[in-house]
């Protein structure tokens, strides 16, 4: 399922990222790689807040739709 629709407060694993090369590199620099474990914290008016390692990141809804988790 897309990260934008993931349940909040659960541990998730990134399974697929569908984006152009520039966006994929940017996400990799943030630590968002296939296989990475994240926690979806909450949805703030369309933006998704996630926790990866000890950092919190805000992703807009269009970007969260390109990241698939299980």
Q: Residue 26: give its domain's CATH number.
A: 2.30.30.90
Compute the residue count for the chain: 70
Judge whether residue 39 has pLDDT over 80. Answer: yes
On whether the pTM is more than 0.85, the answer is: yes
Tell me the mean pLDDT in the region 21-36: 96
Return left, alpha or beta for 46; rule: phi > 0 is left, psi -120 to 50 is alpha, else beta: left
The pLDDT value recorded for residue 50 is 96
Domain that holds residue 55: 3-69
Residue 70 · residue 3 · CB < 8 Å: no
Total domains in the fold of the chain: 1
């Amino acid at each position: 399922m897309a990260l934008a629709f993931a349940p909040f407060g659960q541990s998730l694993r990134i399974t697929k990222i569908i984006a152009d090369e520039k966006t994929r590199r940017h996400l990799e620099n943030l630590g968002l790689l296939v296989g990475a474990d994240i926690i979806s914290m909450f949805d703030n008016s369309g933006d998704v807040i996630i926790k990866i390692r000890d950092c919190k990141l805000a992703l807009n809804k269009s970007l969260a739709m390109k990241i698939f988790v299980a």
